[in-house]
Structure 1
């Protein structure tokens, strides 16, 4: 009887409380919805910049550090203080107004200008480099996959401070040059050409600075694995039968009968390189009849090297299904070449730089690695024969930045 009374009392109370429960539920929903609306949305993570942009920003930041160290070194050298950090291998202060230091500062100034992005001011460069260093994945992860990047610091990492000594600047300059070449092997075409030019000039200037300050010369050679092969047939990419593995096609192999625009451009760059090498070989053959002593010995060695380069270019042309230009019997040489064959050879080597710069920009993979090594080799030989490869070897001189006011002209790195 008591239980029936209790149940009847609850049934009478529940309808009266229902409105209260509904009101409380509505208030709870309002509070929750207001909290969702008022809580700001979490901003999305910024996208990592492309590898080429990371490599450019890192190159600019490191070049500016090198420029700052070179400027301090030049100031200390001009002061001639016994306590200055500009000392040669024997611990003596470097000579006031050392030309090698001044040329290094000029070269780095021009390179820093060339590495600025369109519309970017030097003040903006530090922020861009910091963003590149924070971005993921870092440029080092891609550069490390390149054969030439082994042992090099990451392109996206912050560069360590450069010691303001001749030996410290030489080592840092060579290290930066090697990293730029490693990044050039991975970057997009136009940026690859710029980075290859910067890296080549920095490596050569490191050797020149070492010779001009009496410090130990860094290792300044760039090599690549030989690339050979033939144009793959259309059936090479088809599934194999009989359990035989299909041959791996080159990156430039085309399935269509007509080559793509990119392949045609690469073929044109290879043809231009072949013609340039053939003309250079002819020039060395003529120069050998007018040189003697050590100059003749060097010319004979370089002639053999250019024979190998021409053979490599022809092999690359066949690998990329491009026509190999026929070798001509002779070429026209300027009278100045016959009058001064050593200087003429330097001019031939310097003339090959834009050709190999084009090949760097238009190729990829092993072909680009080969082109980078060929670009560096031509610049190095140009210096040996007394020519000036410039601050950006491989780039058109008309596209280079103008020299800052008050700077002395850049001299050959040798």
Structure 2
């Protein structure tokens, strides 16, 4: 073959062209290989972890506002704010625990029955332009602002508890309950409207009254030990938790009936109203038990009450109410759906009744807390990076 000048092109020319093409290919290949790949976006944390981070961030903000108010107060006001600081400090320490168990002695502490839904939860961090929780727009803490922020945070924790995994759901419900109670105390001191509380009766609307046996099952499961078992019921099951709720409410009704014969005046009127509330709770607990195809425990003819209960019935009722808290805490951890909502509302109501009789349900009602295992809080400058930083809403 001749080129444009008429000279014949030799084999060396073709080899030179082939080498140049190969070199260009290698250069391009090497260039593409050296370009770093775009790293994939990190996977969103599970809903329960996001809810925990949001609760921790909000609780730390509330704690800082409470501390600011305590430092600038004296007398009864200082004591009120110092109590809020102590409560929020314990809650923040409990929220630092990764498994949500918070030192609970109950076997249900780490249970997980409700699947974490897709989506994300609020980060708990103040969006740009908003003052931290418990402070006015100027950034200075005020009593009304702290009461309102505590109320809002408590309600958010309860909403997240309805969707979180079992152990974390119990912790969130406990934190939200105590924050609502603290918000009520602060609102009374500020002369503002106290927060509204959820009521257990509102969640019974979707509960059936008869058992619906799942497909493939020949008989409904029972709450007690089965033939061939060790004879000891499994305490970390929904059936066992429902059975405990029924038995506890029936025993509480009995206690109120006895106390009414020894109380007078306003205390007797309060006890009569709460007795009716517990009688309704017995029916609701039995209703949810049947919904889950669990045998309703038989009612006992009576219960043994100590001499201290008979001598001081008001204090005895406070003790009975406090004893229902871990029962509903277990039920929160082991249930889901409508039953979980009812358990959360019942936990809040039980804590309210405990306060009515002059007792303190503690910083995490429904959890037997071992403060010895709680971690130390990090320094303020290190806590701001703890939350996920994502801003979304619970499903």
TM-score range, shorter chain: 0.7 to 0.9
Instruction: Tell me whether 1:75 sits opposite 2:55 in the alignment.
Output: no
2:194 equivalent to 1:218:
yes
- Structure 1 pair 55/343, CA: closer, same or farther in 2 (3 Å)? same
Aligned CA RMSD, in angstroms, stands at 2.9
**SS, match of residue 363 in structure 2:** coil
Larger CA Rg, structure 1 vs 2? 1
Deviations 1:232-282 (A, max 9, x none): 135xx5xxxxxxxxxxxxxxxx74758599998101000000000000000
* Larger RCO: 1 or 2 (CA < 8 Å, sep 6+): 2
1:228 aligns with 2:207: yes
Q: Is contact 1:274-1:325 (8 Å) kept?
A: yes
Mark the CA change 1:386 to 1:204 in structure 2 (over 3 Å): closer, same or farther.
Answer: same
What does residue 165 of structure 2 align with?
A: 188
Does the CA-based 8 Å contact 1:113-1:401 persist in structure 2?
A: no
Contact persistence 2:97–2:374 (CA under 8 A): no
1:357 to 329, 340, 351: 329
The number of residue pairs the alignment matches comes to 336
- CA-to-aligned-CA distance 1:198-249 (integer Å, 9 cap, x gap): 00000001111222x3331332311342142122135xx5xxxxxxxxxxxx
Determine helix, strand or coil for the equivalent of 1:9: coil
- The residue aligned with 2:120 is 139
Give matches, 1:35-74, under 5 Å.
35-74=31-70
TM-aligned CA deviation for residue 327 of structure 1: 1.0
Q: TM-score, normalised by structure 2?
A: 0.78
Question: Residues 201 and 100 from structure 1, CA distance in 2 versus in 1: closer, same or farther, beyond 3 angstroms?
Answer: same
Correspondence list, 1:15-414, <5 A: 15-78=11-74, 95=75, 98-118=78-98, 139-140=120-121, 155-159=122-126, 160=130, 161-162=132-133, 163=135, 164-211=141-188, 213-223=189-199, 224-226=202-204, 227-229=206-208, 230-234=210-214, 237=215, 255=217, 265-398=237-370
Deviations 1:358-410 (A, max 9, x none): 00000001000000000000000000001110000000133676699xxxxxx
Shift of 1:9: 3.5
SS of equivalent to 2:293: coil
Aligned twin of 1:126: none
Distance 1:193 1:400 in 2: 20
What is the deviation of 1:20? Answer: 2.1
On the 8 A contact 1:52/1:187 being kept in 2, the answer is yes
Contact map agreement 1:270 1:359 (CA 8 A) in 2? yes
State the secondary structure of the residue aligned to 2:44. Answer: coil
Change (3 A) 1:268 1:6: closer
Secondary structure (helix, strand or coil) at the match of 1:397 reads coil
Match of 1:407 in 2: none
Is the CA contact (8 Å cut-off) linking 1:274 and 1:310 kept in structure 2?
yes
Which SS does the other structure have where 1:318 is aligned?
A: helix
The separation in 1 between residues aligned to 2:374 and 2:354, in whole angstroms, is 22
- Please list the CA deviations of residues 331-364 of structure 1 after superposition, one character each: whole Å capped at 9, or x if unmatched: 0111111111111111100000000000000000
State the TM-score, normalizing by the size of structure 1: 0.75
Structure 1 residue 42: Cα displacement: 2.1
Q: Which runs of 5+ in 2 are unaligned?
A: 100-116, 136-140, 223-232, 377-395
